[in-house]
Amino acid sequence: MFRKIADGIDALNNAVGSMVIWLTLIMGIVMFGTVVLRYVFNMGWIWVQESVTYMHGILFMMAGGYALLHEQHVRIDIFYRPLSERKKAFVNVFGVLFLLFPTCFVIFYYSFPYVMDAWSVLEGSREAGGVPGVFLLKTVILIFPVLVGLQGVSMLIRCFYTLKETQDPATS
């Protein structure tokens, strides 16, 4: 049952990551278009320039769980890589419980009022002609710790199965 929960979380983060990764290509195209419009045709729009910032923020915030799922996050591999699967599971349990979960909680807790304030006024761009949905971008700040926290739950489940299935050679 718990493996199905972990598989579901992994599938969610995989789907989200697979969708938002396309923002990288779209950002590149929009940036190229912005540069061409500005320097070749002497034209530009604030909303196009702001959209790149939006896409960048969405990409990195929404792909946090995906990066954790595929172990593309920052880790000191010089110590971690040579460990046995059992020791890696212990390190991951410690990291998730005492580093990842508290960080996700703090981000969510302190961002919630900030995001709610943005929603209460349907905050838009400070620039005339800018992207009107700043409140939607700020919502991604709350989605980030949820997706990363869920991926932490999946990691914990998988670590507990690893610990259960592997035996410590010293106790055999």
Mean pLDDT of the chain: 92
In the chain, the percentage of residues whose pLDDT exceeds 70 is 97
How many Cα neighbours within 13 Å face the side chain of 73?
18
Q: Is the pTM of this model over 0.85?
A: yes
Neighbouring CB atoms inside 10 A of 53's CB total 13
Residue 100, domain extent: 2-171
Picking from 77, 74, 58, 48, the residue whose alpha carbon sits closest to that of residue 17 is 58
**Number of domains, the chain:** 1
